[in-house]
Amino acid sequence: FDVYQNGNQSEKYPQIWVEGSSLTIKNSRVHDSVNGNGITSKGSEIKGESCEVFKNYYYGLRFIKNSTVVLSNFDVYQNGNQSGNYPQIWVEGSSLTIKNSKVHDSVNAGGIYSKGSKIEGEGCEVFKNYYHGLFLGNSTVVLSNFDVYQNGNQSEDYSQIWLEDSFVYISDSQIYNARKGSGIYCKGSLTELVIKRVRTYGNSVGLRCMGYKKLEIDNSSYFYDGIK
């Protein structure tokens, strides 16, 4: 499928809207919306494989209201606009499993935003997003074999991974070369961060902690740019 240039200037219509339903999408492109998101899921089950989602005016992918989503081999890029911060992937009150995918080159926005959700990711690249590469709030997140790099901008201090009041487990990953900010920033009295076999370098600081309930770092992790 090639889904593009749908919607109108007077209302915000996603190119694909799924509500209380099930969608399987493969080998497709969803791009260049007129004034809406690429794909929006509300209380639905989505399975996607080998798709491109790009140049949509708001969110590339928006999953809300207890959606369950499994994505593999996705390329998500250049979504958003200059008038606001619309992350390329927004997950709220939902579950996302994402594998072997890329989220990059946002327009004035972050890469992946999770609010009150569960995320499992493996083998992904998150890079060159204008704000945070990943923003994780009140969520449970497990990431492995991630490359997170060159996120943020020169004007403001945006960490590549921001987590607040979340449980986050990161393993076998690299976080490097932030445009200005830290590699990982954690805060919140409920935050639990577990790091195993992770390398950070080229950030203003590898790990900055402003508050947490639990912090566990194994001996195989290296913060070449320091911990504060």
Report, as ranges of residue numbers, the positions in the chain whose pLDDT lies below 70: none
Measured between alpha carbons, how far is 213 from 26 in angstroms, rounded to an integer?
A: 41
pLDDT for 106: 98
DSSP letter at 64? E
* DSSP helix, strand, coil percent of the chain (3-state; round to 5): 0, 50, 50
b/e map 123-134, b = 16+ CB within 10 Å = bbbbbbbbbbbb
In the numeric block, which tokens belong to residue 70?
Answer: 């499994």
pLDDT for 201: 98
pLDDT for 221: 98
DSSP letter at 59? -
pLDDT for 206: 98
pLDDT for 158: 96
| Secondary structure element (H or E) that encloses residue 222, with its range | strand 222-223
